[in-house]
Amino acid sequence: MKTEINTIWLDLHEELYTFILFKIKDEQVSKDLHQEVFLKIQTKIYQLKHSSKLTSWVYQITRNVIIDYFRKSKSKKISINDFDFPEEQNENFDYSKLTNCINQKIETLSSIHKEAILLTSFKGYSQKELAEHLKISYSGTKSRVQKAKRVLKQNILDCPNVESDSSGKLLDFENN
């Protein structure tokens, strides 16, 4: 077993650290989570039934550690820059002003839509991973995520201090 852990470390430690750092954006926290991932690998390696799935198994552990970190800390504030509104093309718009508004609007979503938004847009879940997590079909998951994004966007556009054009593109926002 020690040989397996050493092999995993040699093959994946840099790649996993980079993956964690990309999601966390804090070097020290990323190093701590990186160590936590390898501790979990070491204590759970016996659960891996097929060595051909080693890399995906390790990445699933890594994603779970990152999700647990965000759940525990709740310090990650959501920014409009993290959210994907495909229709928006105006790169000059200062989306950072909308951060508090978006956080509030996400909190008002139904638990189903809130979970879909948070896990796919902020926690790095693919829609297939979300489908597995929720134990629903992939097409059902795609519909849920699309609807959650539509509802959130409409909620943001309904704010009295948000100005948009007829296509729904954000034009301006006034801080109150």
Q: Compute φ and ψ for 172, nearest 5 degrees.
A: -155, 160
pLDDT for 33: 93
pLDDT at 87: 39
75 or 37: whose pLDDT is higher? 37
The DSSP bridge partners found for residue 162 are 173
Domain boundary among 58, 73, 88: 73
Band (123; pLDDT cuts 50, 70, 90): confident
The confidence score (pLDDT) of residue 36 equals 93
Specify the pLDDT at position 152: 84
Average of per-residue pLDDT across 69-87: 54
pLDDT at 89: 37
Q: Find the helix packing angle between 99-108 and 138-157, rounded to 10°.
A: 130
Share of the chain above pLDDT 90, in %: 14
What integer best gives the mean pLDDT of the chain? Answer: 77
Residue finishing a domain among 11, 44, 73:
73
Which of 44, 73, 102 marks a domain boundary?
73
Looking up residue 93, the CATH number of its domain turns out to be 1.10.10.10
Res 93: pLDDT:
44
pLDDT (tens digit per residue) in 107-121: 888 888 888 888 887
Question: CA of 65: how far to CAs of 33, 54, 165, 169, 175, in Å?
Answer: 7, 17, 41, 36, 36
One domain for residues 98 and 45? no
Torsion of the alpha carbons at 67, 59, 124 and 16, rounded to the nearest 10: 90
Q: Report H helices in 83-122.
A: 99-108, 111-117
As to burial, measured by CB atoms within 10 angstroms (0-12 exposed, 13-18 middle, 19+ buried), residue 48 is: middle
Name the token pair of 65: 């550690």
pTM of the full structure: 0.43
